[in-house]
């Protein structure tokens, strides 16, 4: 009897292979052939699932977004029953920066995605929508913290949201060894300490 193939599982395995290739060798070397070899499938099999590098990257980014959300969700219980929004923001920032192997691979894949999106209108729209969703989540959390008196009411939630997101700009400094993880985390803590009054 022929073996049934779980197509979703196969696509996810290819996405993982793409992560590994980009993490190890960079996006420029993540050819369809290289990813197929890393995934242990033939080039023809890979092309059955993804017609191009862009299609493969787009799927991998959706899968990556879920993986990042899952890591954040897994970290939330460690913060207690009703975590303070400061703790939640720090956890989110930690998962968005290349501080651990999974987050590092994620970060490098994101960099490749942004570079591709700069020259592809459809990808640009999709990447922009994802970033806007993330920005909205941070802004809503900050608005609630202002309403709850944990942040001074004279703070502009739009500006504070953008300043929080700007902290993800530590990524190239970390990747290129300009600063160490402890320095990035100290700067994040200093910013959050200035922002939250409670």
Report the 10 Å Cβ neighbour count for 161.
20
| pLDDT tens across the length of the chain (198 residues) | 445 567 888 898 999 999 899 999 998 899 999 999 999 999 999 999 999 988 998 888 888 888 888 989 999 999 988 899 999 999 999 999 999 888 888 889 888 888 888 988 888 888 888 889 989 999 999 999 999 999 999 999 999 999 999 999 999 999 999 999 999 999 999 999 999 998
58 contact partners, CB below 8 Å, separation of at least 6: 123, 126
Look at residue 151 and give its three-state secondary structure.
strand
Q: What are phi and psi of 151, to 5 degrees?
A: -130, 140
CATH code reported for the domain at 61-195: 1.10.357.10
Q: What are phi and psi of 176, to 5 degrees?
A: -95, 5
Task: List, in sequence order, the alpha helices (H) in the chain.
Answer: 7-25, 32-39, 43-49, 53-75, 85-96, 101-117, 121-147, 157-166, 170-175, 181-195
Q: Which tokens belong to 88?
A: 């939640």
142-143-149-153 Cα dihedral, nearest 10 degrees: 110
Report the 10 Å Cβ neighbour count for 159.
10
Instruction: Supply the angle between the helices 85-96 and 53-75 in degrees, to the nearest 10.
Output: 150
């Amino acid at each position: 009897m022929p073996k049934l193939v779980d197509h979703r599982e196969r696509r996810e395995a290819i996405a993982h292979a793409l992560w590994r290739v980009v993490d190890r060798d960079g996006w420029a070397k993540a050819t369809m052939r290289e990813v197929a070899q890393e995934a242990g499938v033939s080039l023809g099999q890979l092309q059955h699932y993804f017609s191009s590098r862009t299609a493969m990257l787009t799927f991998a980014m959706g899968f990556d977004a879920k993986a990042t959300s899952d890591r954040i969700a897994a970290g939330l219980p460690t913060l207690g029953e009703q975590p303070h929004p400061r703790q939640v923001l720090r956890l989110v920032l930690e998962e968005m920066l290349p501080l651990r192997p999974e987050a590092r691979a994620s970060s490098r894949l994101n960099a490749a995605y942004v570079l591709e999106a700069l020259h592809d209108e459809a990808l640009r729209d999709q990447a922009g929508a994802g970033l806007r969703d993330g920005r909205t989540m941070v802004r809503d959390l900050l608005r609630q913290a202002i309403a709850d008196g944990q942040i001074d009411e004279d703070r502009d939630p739009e500006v504070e949201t953008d300043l929080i997101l700007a902290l993800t700009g530590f990524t190239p400094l970390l990747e290129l060894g300009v600063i160490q993880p402890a320095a990035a985390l100290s700067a994040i803590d200093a910013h959050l300490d200035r922002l939250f009054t409670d």
